[in-house]
Amino acid sequence: MNKKTKTKKPGNKKPGYRQIFLIICALFWSIYPFITRVVVKKIPEIEASFFSNKKGQIIDLFLFPKEIVLAVFSGAVILYFLGERIFPDKIIKLDRDRIKNLKLPFICIGVYIVFSVLSFVLSDYKETAFWGANSEYEGLLAILCYALIFIFAIIFLKRETDTKVSLSAEKIFQKAVVALSLITAVLTLIEIFYKPLLEIPIVQTLISSEENRKIAEGIKNENFIGQICLTFHNPGFLGGFCALILPVLYSVILQRKGIRKWLYSAAGGILILAVKWSDSKVAMVALAVTLPIEAVIVFLLLGRKKLGGPENGESSNLDYTRRKKTESIISFGAIVVIGILLIVLSKIVPTYSSRTNETENASEAEVTEKTGEDGITEIASLDDEQGLYRLSKAEIDNGVLKLYSDEKCLEVSVDDEILQECYRVYGEKDFADALIFTDGTVKLEEKVPTILKKTNIREEVSGFRFTDERFKDIRISVDKELAIFDFGYMGTVEFYITYEGLKPFGQGGTLLDEIPQPAVTGLEGIYSFATGRGYIWAQALPILKNSLIVGGGNGTFAFRFRQNEMVGLMNTHGSCKYVIDRPHNWYLQIACSDGVPALIAVLVLFIYYIVGILKNIRKTLRKSITEGTVSLEFIDIGLFAGLIGFMLCGFINDSCVTVNPLFWLFLGWGVARMHTGI
């Protein structure tokens, strides 16, 4: 009997090496956010003057290693892309018609690249602009990698037209999403209930070389007590990552059955727990908006064309639709319920944070009991409770420090003769005697001893305050030439006593002749918005104005922002020791770094994608899709919800090399699926 054989059209099935390449890429993205290495690196001199360091060196764990690995991966993708068009026995050519259909995304990403390069070329800080500042390591190199990742996704993650391909790009990268989610879920549970990942000895060994082993062993989670950030550098970035990945995971869950569906749903619930413990409010809001919207869209679209059909044992499309709608509701409910239960459980079951707090509280109680014997505690208890001397203005005028609080003003000057005597008998005479305090007209002389509270950089110190009711909330301690002022904020302000008067400290311990004044006034009402981001945005307006064509280069925000503006920082953050190194707004960051045209290009790209998906949703709901026209699938809706959630997080978070590469990958994936093509 002669068997009929079907002839396969050449080129219908992807060559095996492309699938292997995509599997390697998927494996890379499955582990990329967790790449960590202890790196001791020398930084440019300009950065050393802004950031605390020893001999111009910094210790980095998450950022620089990821940037380097990202660059290597991007280089490998370029080589593969070129090789695929030169060396195979069947050269694969680009689909020109498909490229034409996608010309707007390519134009947008091209404009972004051009203005990023121009901003680098014209930047005054080229080394930093190329690598990025040591607090972010997202320079021109990273931006170029983002663009390449976006283009990679458009080319390689398009819809498959050959249904016989057993392992399509979509299936491969869906598995990568699952792997990412499961790894994140496991590490989240470890960090919450056991201890921070980088405090685990075996992890410290894995992430460090022999010469840096001591550094790794000394890592402590001191900056984010009560929060988790895994290997994302900052809890906010972990929250943004979860807002991006969870909706995509939900779309994958809808296509799974049995134990895998429940396992993935549990991972989704743990991602909600991770957002809660990252304390990223914007990520929680993003998920609260996008995940339900995704569930509703899925529910409405089920039963439409291209969203599936009856399976074995189901007599009609109606049976299939009912079952899938029920499953979609159950999957959504399972993720949310598991997340809520885990959050409640984390408040009941002992966590690393609760155990650490109990130990610290016990130690503090022991110290308080001991210090009570020497009389210090009794002196503090006799003192009035300190209020807040809210600064409205601070300036140095002809060597006189003037500290305003509305109508009140404390003026501090230096008596040169007494200061000279203090230097002559150094260590024997109190430098506080060289300070003259007045209310502008009358000298303040009546003082009583007091205690300046402990801060994160020093212990309690003894000092004095004034009996004058107007200034009783100001505590002052003088240790030789150093004068410490406590106004009742979280932090204190230090001045150096000189013959020219009191001088404040700037970055790197440098002495400033003046107290920098705000670059923009009249916007004080928004300073406290989004935990102090309003202050940064208001004071960044001059930078934005100077970036209407090109920016100052990526990573250079700290050098262009007016630092050491004492009053605004104190009233917003409670301390003036912050270096404002980022705008804490992704869109403002693009504009300041790469120029307003670059921002416009990125926004046009985002709008292009959003409008395209919304049009597809509307068409599908109206049943107006004809055969051969692209329709929506679960993964399209998941990508849409995740990308929207991450874009929302961008209003509060900066771009970061730990998670933004995944955003650009998903955005390229989403754009690629909007158009068919071989």
Query: For 266-304, what is the HEC assignment?
Result: HHHHHHHHHHHHHCCHHHHHHHHHHHHHHHHHHHHHCCC
What does the pLDDT average to over 217-221?
A: 87
* pLDDT reading at 378 higher than 90: no
**Average of pLDDT values for 576-580?**
89
Mean pLDDT of 529-551: 95
Residue 5 in this model has a pLDDT that exceeds 50: no
Please give the sequence-ordered ranges of beta strands (E in DSSP) within 47-95, or none if there are none: 57-60
Q: Give residue 371's pLDDT.
A: 39
Residue 223 confidence (pLDDT): 79
pLDDT, mean of residues 591-617: 96
Quick: pLDDT tens for 499-537: 999 999 987 778 999 999 999 999 999 999 998 999 999
pLDDT at 118: 98
3-class DSSP state of 313: coil
pLDDT score at 122: 97
CA–CA gap between residue 568 and residue 69 (Å, rounded): 39
User: How many whole angstroms separate alpha carbon 135 and alpha carbon 628?
Assistant: 49
CA nearest neighbour of 466 among 493, 486, 441, 496: 486
Q: What is the pLDDT of residues 226-257, one digit of tens each?
A: 899 999 999 999 999 999 999 999 999 999 98
Mean of all residue pLDDT scores within the chain: 88
- Residue 459, C-beta contacts closer than 8 angstroms, at least 6 positions apart: none
Q: What's the pLDDT score for residue 379?
A: 36
Q: Does residue 603 carry a pLDDT above 60?
A: yes
Which pLDDT value is given to residue 622?
75
Q: Are 141 and 128 in contact (CB under 8 A)?
A: no
- For residues 599 and 81, which has the higher predicted lDDT (pLDDT)? 599
Do 232 and 239 touch, CB atoms closer than 8 A?
A: no
Dmax (CA) of the chain: 118
> Residue 58 and residue 50: Cα distance in Å, rounded?
12
The residues with which 410 forms a beta bridge, in sequence order, are 403
169-189 pLDDT, tens digit each = 889 999 999 999 999 999 999
Report d(CA 264, CA 393) in Å as an integer: 55
| 97 confidence band (pLDDT: 50, 70, 90) | confident
* 447: enclosing H helix or E strand: strand 447-452
**CA-closest candidate to residue 287, choices 251, 336, 344:** 336
Q: What's the CA gap between 249 and 291, in Å, rounded? A: 11
* Residue 307 DSSP class: S
Beta-carbon-side half-sphere exposure of residue 149 (alpha carbons within 13 Å): 24
Which long-range contacts link 439-447 to residues 24+ away (Cβ below 8 Å)? 439/408, 439/409, 439/410, 439/411, 439/468, 439/470, 439/471, 440/409, 440/411, 444/410, 444/468, 444/471
> How far does the chain reach from its first CA to its final CA, in angstroms?
36
Cα separations (Å) of 353 from 235, 239, 267?
15, 18, 22
Question: What is the C-alpha separation between 328 and 404, in angstroms, rounded?
Answer: 61
What are all long-range contacts of 325-331, with beta carbons under 8 Å and residues at least 24 apart? 325/299, 327/254, 327/261, 328/254, 328/295, 328/298, 328/299, 328/302, 329/295, 329/299, 331/250, 331/253, 331/254, 331/261, 331/265
Q: How far apart are CA 126 and CA 41, in angstroms?
A: 17
- Write b or e for each residue in 348-376: b if 16 or more Cβ atoms lie within 10 A of its Cβ, otherwise e: eeebbbeeeeeeeeeeeeeeeeeeeeeee
Single out the residue of 13, 15, 60, 3 nearest to residue 36, CA to CA.
Answer: 60
**Which position has the token pair 């790197």?**
508
Return the H-helix or E-strand segment holding 475.
strand 475-479
| Percentage of the chain modeled with pLDDT above 70 | 87
175-180 long-range Cβ contacts below 8 angstroms, 24+ apart: 175/26, 176/26, 176/27, 176/29, 176/30, 177/245, 177/248, 177/249, 177/252, 178/249, 178/252, 178/264, 178/267, 179/26, 179/30, 180/29, 180/30, 180/33, 180/245
pLDDT band at 11; cut points 50, 70, 90? very low
Residue 300 clears pLDDT 80, i.e. is over it: yes
Exposed (0-12), middle (13-18) or buried (19+): which is 402, by Cβ within 10 Å?
middle
Question: What's the pLDDT band for 556 if we cut at 50, 70, 90?
Answer: very high
Beta-bridged to residue 413, according to DSSP, are 436
Query: The sheet that has 447-452: what strands, in order across it?
Result: 447-452, 461-466, 475-479, 482-486, 493-498, 501-504
274/249 Cα distance (integer angstroms):
15
Bridge partners, 451 (sequence order): 462
Please give the helix or strand (H or E) that residue 497 lies within, else none. strand 493-498
Query: With 90 as the cut, is the pLDDT of residue 369 above it?
Result: no
| DSSP structure string for 531-548 | HHHHHHHHHTHHHHHTTS
What's the pLDDT score for residue 316? 55
Banded model confidence at residue 317, pLDDT cuts 50, 70, 90: low
* Residue count (the chain): 678
Domain residue spans of the chain: 12-120+136-159+595-623+655-678, 171-351, 393-509
d(CA 7, CA 3): 12
Given a cut of 70, is residue 612 above it in pLDDT? yes
Tens digit of each residue's pLDDT (9 = 90 or more) over 267-291: 999 999 999 999 999 999 999 999 9
Residue 621 neighbours by CB under 8 Å, 6+ apart: 300, 301, 304
- According to DSSP, residue 511 is labeled B
Helix, strand and coil content of the chain, in percent to the nearest 5, comes to 55, 10, 35
Query: What tens digit of pLDDT does each residue of 133-163 get?
Result: 998 999 999 999 999 999 999 999 987 654 4
Q: Are 136 and 569 in contact (CB under 8 A)?
A: no
State the Cα–Cα distance between residues 675 and 678, nearest whole angstrom.
10
List beta partners, residue 449: 464
